[in-house]
Each structure stands twice: as structure tokens, then as C-alpha cells.
Amino acid sequence: ELFGPVAEDKGVELFFFREGDLPASVEEGRFRRAVAHIVDNAVKYTEGPGKITVECRRCGNDAVISVTDTGVGISEADVDRVFARFYRVEQSRSGGGNGLGLSLSRAIVRSFGGEISASSTLGVGSVFTIRMPIAQ
């Protein structure tokens, strides 16, 4: 809901899929903030016509949230560094931001026992994946 209007203005389709209830032991506001940083980046670096998919599914004992975009992508050299504080890849240096969003997302996710990772191809897009243990 928060990112739909901005994505639509850019000509980017935003999709959301959820596979049933996926309970995790998190503080909702903080966890929502972690996911919002990732979706915000996807919207920021995807031009129309483009597509962003947010998918929530169960994988074994984990809840997995993936954010997939058809944006500018991140080079292989940069993809492992995007979670470092104040790090900004070359394509993002002309835009706003201070390089803290993804490092904050990682800190929040880890504080709840989860992990976050990224994979990307320049000119094709990126996938950010959060894995959280499902609450028993």
C-alpha cells in the first residue's frame, strides 16, 4: 500500500504474494521497517516498464520473504557490500540516501534471529531474501 502509488507513477508493477500464515517472533514495526527499506530501494532503482514482486512463503522451518525487481541491478563486486553501513553502489550515488537502509535492515532481521541476503545481475535486476525462523 505504501509503495504502490510511487511504483505506479514510474510505470512499475508491484505484486504481493503470501502463502498462508507465517508466524515469526518479531516486533512488527521494526520488522516492517526492515522490509520497507528493501522495497523502497526496489522502487527507487526500477524504471518503467518494470516489475517488483514481494513474495512470502514457507521453506522448511523458515518464513522466507523475497523482493525481486527488474531494476538496474548491482555488480558482482558490490552485491556482498551493500549491507555495509554508509556503502552506496556507484549507480546510487547521484540519488538520495545515506547508505544506511540495507545495513539497518540486516541489523533488524538479525536481531530477530533471521538472515538477509542479496543476489543481482547488472541490467537485469536484484533479489533480496529474508529468512526468519517460524515461531513454534
Residue 21: what pLDDT? 87
pLDDT at 40 over 60: yes
Element (H, E) at 114: none
Percent of the chain with pLDDT over 70: 90
Indicate the average pLDDT of the chain: 90
pLDDT at 111 over 80: yes
Exposed e or buried b for every residue in 111-129, given b needs 16+ CB within 10 A?
Answer: ebebebebebeeeebbbbb
- Residue 82, classified by CB atoms within 10 Å of its CB into exposed (0-12), middle (13-18) or buried (19+), is buried
pLDDT at 59 over 90: yes
Split at pLDDT 50, 70, 90, the class of 116 is very high
Summarize the confidence of residues 47-56 as an average pLDDT.
97
Element (H, E) at 39: helix 28-44
Which of 24-28, 52-56, 78-82 tops mean pLDDT?
52-56
pLDDT at 76 over 50: yes
CA distance 66 to 55: 5
